[in-house]
Each structure stands twice: as C-alpha cells, then as structure tokens.
C-alpha cells in the first residue's frame, strides 16, 4: 500500500460512512465491480484506524454533547453517595441522551446470530444494487415527511427503539446506516436537526463496538510498522472528510434537500442491478 491508496480509501470511508449512501454498499461495489481490494483485505489494523478516524469526526462536531453526557452521568452517579439525593440529576439532558442511545443500540444484539449470513451478502452485487434502491426510496419518502418538532426532551423510548431497529436493518450492505436512522427519526416526528444529531451520536457505540471486536484480530494478525505513517494518513483523511460529510448532511437536512441523496442511490443501485444481470 502507498500513500495515495491509503488516502483514497480514507476518503471513501469518511464520505460514505456519514453521507446516507451506504459505506458497506460502496465498498462492496468497489471490490467486485471495480476490482479494488476492500480495506479488510488490505490490513485489519488499517480498517480499525479508518473507523477511528470517522469517530474523531463525530467527536469533533458533537464534543459538547459528549462532554455533557459524561459530566451529567458522573454528577448523577456521585449523588447516589451524597446525603442530599436529587433524582432530577438523572433526568438531565446528558443522561436522557445516554438512556435513549442505549435503547437504540440494544436491537443490534439480534444481528449477532445472522452475522455470517449478512457477511455473505457483500458478495452479491445484485442484492447490494437492490438495497441501494431501497435506500433511495427510504430517503425520498422520509424527506417529504411533515416537519417534526420532537427533540431530546420529548423523544420517547419507542422512538429510540424504532430508530434502533432501522439501524439493525442497515447492517445489510446497500442500506445506509445514516440514511436509515435519520429517516426513522424524521418518520417519528423528530426535528430535522435533532434527527441528524441523534443518528450521528448513535454511530459512536456502533462504530466503537465494531472496532473493539476487530482490535484483537488486528493484534493477532500482526502489521508492518513501516506502514504506520501511511495508515495514519488514511485515518486523517477519513476524519477530515467525515467531518465535512456530517456538516453537509446537517445543512441539506435543514434545507429539506436530504432527498438529493435518494437520486444518487437510485442511479447507482439501478446501474449495479443492470451490470450484475449482464455479467450474470
């Protein structure tokens, strides 16, 4: 691997992870239609670092939310040992966000038994193409939903659970995680800005969990220390491109132009289906 390849894969990771176009779907198409090796085939450590780069992008934009969640949680925790207990501390914005994120993350447990089956779908470009078309439909119709007003203070457990179920569906290659969770938020009546914010904060446990599972594999497989500067360049590009991708999604969602990604996903999905049928 060279710097150019590393930076290109970092760009693909950063852009496709947060734009509602399905990073898994695009990586699958790159691998099978363009004959470009997947990141996992290149090096497990590099894959972990790219995901870490996208996490840095989320931290950079939503650091205030993250700091508030951490401080509110520990502040409420210390009240347990205080003589002046205040239950309201557990109902702070930070703790409420933590609670909703936990509820939304729990459905991912049901994905574990079908992990191998889902992994095999990466090799089926016809399926990926159809999934991209499904993503296009989800984005198109959710963008035409009436503007919602729900925010952190009145979002319910059911809202979080339904968004979590949409995230489960998005483990399938071609279905966008960001697109599915943001769309679910819009369907549940979330304010557009809050729908995007909740979706990207929800990506933290999902990406972090996947990274933790891969770290041991990365250590066991070993790595070439001379490639670390090249890997870090890809991670940096993933972080920077991810940062601007999140900014773009926020901007387009607020301007009711979120559905612009629907046309892109439909075009790529349709082209993929046609090429897959032609190639047999």
One-character DSSP codes across 75-104: HHHHHHTSSS--GGGGGSHHHHHHHHHHHH
Q: How much is the pLDDT for 73?
A: 86
Round to whole Å and give the CA distance between 25 and 124: 10
The candidate with the shortest Cα–Cα distance to 201, out of 78, 60, 42, is 60
Round to whole Å and give the CA distance between 186 and 137: 14
Query: Tens of pLDDT along the chain (280 residues)?
Result: 788 888 988 898 889 888 998 887 887 787 776 666 555 555 677 878 888 899 999 999 999 999 999 998 888 777 666 655 555 666 788 899 999 999 999 998 888 788 778 778 888 889 999 999 999 999 988 888 888 889 998 999 999 999 999 999 988 889 999 999 999 999 999 999 999 999 999 999 888 877 776 776 666 666 667 778 888 999 999 999 999 999 999 888 888 787 789 999 999 999 999 988 888 6
The candidate with the shortest Cα–Cα distance to 245, out of 215, 203, 184, 208, is 203
pTM for this entry: 0.87
Round to whole Å and give the CA distance between 119 and 122: 6
Round to whole Å and give the CA distance between 31 and 203: 24
DSSP 62: S
Listed by start position, the domains of the chain span 3-279
């Amino acid at each position: 691997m060279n710097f150019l390849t590393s930076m290109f894969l970092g760009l693909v990771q950063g852009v496709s992870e947060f734009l509602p176009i399905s990073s898994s779907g695009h990586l699958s198409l790159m691998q099978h239609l363009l004959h470009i090796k997947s990141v996992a085939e290149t090096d497990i450590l590099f894959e972990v670092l790219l995901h870490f780069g996208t996490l840095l992008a989320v931290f950079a934009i939503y650091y205030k939310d993250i700091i508030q969640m951490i401080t509110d949680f520990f502040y409420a925790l210390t009240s347990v040992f205080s003589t002046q207990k205040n239950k309201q501390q557990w109902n702070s914005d930070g703790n409420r966000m933590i609670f909703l994120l936990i509820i939304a993350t729990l459905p991912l447990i049901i994905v574990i038994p079908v992990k191998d089956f889902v992994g095999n779908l990466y090799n089926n470009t016809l399926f990926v193409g159809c999934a991209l078309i499904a993503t296009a439909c989800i984005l198109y119709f959710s963008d035409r939903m009436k503007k919602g007003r729900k925010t952190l203070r009145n979002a319910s457990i059911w809202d979080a659970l339904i968004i979590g179920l949409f995230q489960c569906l998005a483990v399938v290659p071609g279905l966008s995680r960001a697109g599915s969770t943001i769309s679910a938020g819009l369907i549940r009546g979330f304010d557009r800005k809050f729908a995007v914010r909740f979706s990207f904060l929800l990506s933290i446990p999902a990406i972090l969990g996947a990274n933790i599972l891969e770290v041991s594999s990365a250590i066991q497989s070993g790595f070439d220390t001379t490639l670390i500067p090249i890997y870090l360049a890809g991670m940096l590009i993933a972080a920077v491109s991810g940062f601007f991708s999140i900014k773009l999604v926020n901007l387009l969602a607020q301007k009711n132009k979120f559905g612009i990604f629907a046309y892109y996903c439909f075009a790529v999905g349709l082209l993929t289906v046609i090429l897959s049928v032609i190639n047999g």
